[in-house]
Structure 1
Amino acid sequence: MSGLSKGIRKAEVALKWDPSPAGQPPTDLDIVAATYAVDDPHGPPAYVVHFDSRSPDGTIYLNRDSQDGRGFGWDEIMTLELDRLSERYARVVVGVVIQQGAGHRTFVNVLGPGLRIREGYTVLAEDDFGGVLGATAAAVAEFARDESGTWAFRPGLHGFDGDPETFTRVMGSVHRS
């Protein structure tokens, strides 16, 4: 990255999946994002944004939410306005969780899943969760601020097996770069 680079300013995380077959309970995936403070970038999250919340300053929010994968195209979309995020935060980790209301489900049970992370029209990463088929959740991206205040994207898919609530507490430590 050159000295003139502005880094990642605004990112979009999009998730899609196919509805469950007739007679089966719906599959519900959720995008979650956790912010981490400068003074403890790998500790507990300062706050978590999920399906019924947004960041306190409005910089991280869910544009679209699906409980069954019956959307047109991308079923869930979360926007991260990193260039507006307070300097108190050093990292934002984004994850995907499978709601477990219908029993234990892993990514192998999700039909046609897809993930896309982009900035503007530039696709930063795409995935189908094939590398974490036995997981109930996955950390899918990390955005980290460097010493100059510029945000960088760190791709990677890291699976987790457990309940969604536990995942949101530990998702920033599931994998450390």
Structure 2
Amino acid sequence: MAGLAKGYRKVEVKLSWDPAPVGAPNHDLDLIAATYTAAAPSGPPTYLVHFDSRSPDGTIILNRDSHDGRGFGADEVLTLDLYRVPETLTRVVIGVAIQQHAGRLAFGEVARPVVSLHEGYTVLARHELTTLPESTAATVAEFVRESGGRWLFTSEARGYDADPVEFGRVMGEG
């Protein structure tokens, strides 16, 4: 009966953090999704979805983008319509990177950075990024398509010391 299993279909990734202290530069965190094909499952991504972008086919969209962590609820929201992702793409890696505008800033210096993944009302995973205090970026989830088309999900927070541009290049390694 494994052929009847649907796997993951539509997932929301939510990122929130508290604003920087008064008088300090804004803390600007970003959700990033990297896509890969079966022929090139790691290394440079096929494409990235991040602030001011979406997937070419509209299956991965950043719905909300914050530059300072102010506001109610999630500061950034990324939606993955996995059931519509082209069959040529077989892996999607989700990460978080801190913009480094005013010097090096790590997760341990940001108040309450939390990323969570949801399918409907079900929480799939939740990571408090302060557990990676020296890191400036982190991968938090990976979706891999099985040969039958079903998406599998794993979630582990893995820290990087990279700015957002470098992180986008290396987040699919390993």
| Offset, 1:73 | 1.1
Alignment match, 1:33: 33
Distance between the aligned counterparts of 2:12 and 2:19, measured in 1? 23
Distance between the aligned counterparts of 1:6 and 1:53, measured in 2? 28
In the alignment, structure 1 segments of 5+ residues that lack a partner are: none
- The TM-score normalised by the length of structure 1 is 0.95
Task: Supply the AA of the counterpart residue of 1:161.
Answer: D
Task: Supply the AA of the counterpart residue of 1:80.
Answer: L
| Offset, 1:2 | 3.5
Alignment match, 1:45: 45
Alignment match, 2:119: 119
Distance between the aligned counterparts of 1:145 and 1:162, measured in 2? 27
In the alignment, structure 2 segments of 5+ residues that lack a partner are: none
Alignment match, 1:136: 136
Alignment match, 2:60: 60
Alignment match, 1:167: 167
- The TM-score normalised by the length of structure 2 is 0.97
Is 2:62–2:76's contact at 8 Å kept on the other side of the alignment?
Answer: yes
Which consecutive aligned stretches of 4+ in structure 1 deviate over 6 angstroms post-superposition? none
Is 2:113–2:130's contact at 8 Å kept on the other side of the alignment?
Answer: no
- Comparing 127-136 with 25-34, greater Cα deviation is found at 127-136
Distance between the aligned counterparts of 1:32 and 1:146, measured in 2? 23
Distance between the aligned counterparts of 1:130 and 1:110, measured in 2? 8
Task: Supply the AA of the counterpart residue of 1:58.
Answer: G
CA deviations on 1:26-70 (whole Å, 9 max, x unpaired) are 100000000001111113200000001000000001111100000
Is 2:12–2:80's contact at 8 Å kept on the other side of the alignment?
Answer: yes
Is 2:43–2:169's contact at 8 Å kept on the other side of the alignment?
Answer: no
Alignment match, 1:95: 95
Is 2:9–2:81's contact at 8 Å kept on the other side of the alignment?
Answer: yes
Alignment match, 1:158: 158
Task: Supply the AA of the counterpart residue of 1:116.
Answer: S
| Offset, 1:130 | 3.1
Aligned to 1:56, the other structure's residue is in SS state coil
Aligned to 1:3, the other structure's residue is in SS state helix
| Offset, 1:132 | 1.1
CA deviations on 1:97-156 (whole Å, 9 max, x unpaired) are 000001100000110111110111111001111331110000010000011110011111
Q: Determine what percentage of the aligned residue pairs are the same residue.
A: 56
The answer on 1:76 being equivalent to 2:73 is no
Distance between the aligned counterparts of 2:36 and 2:113, measured in 1? 28
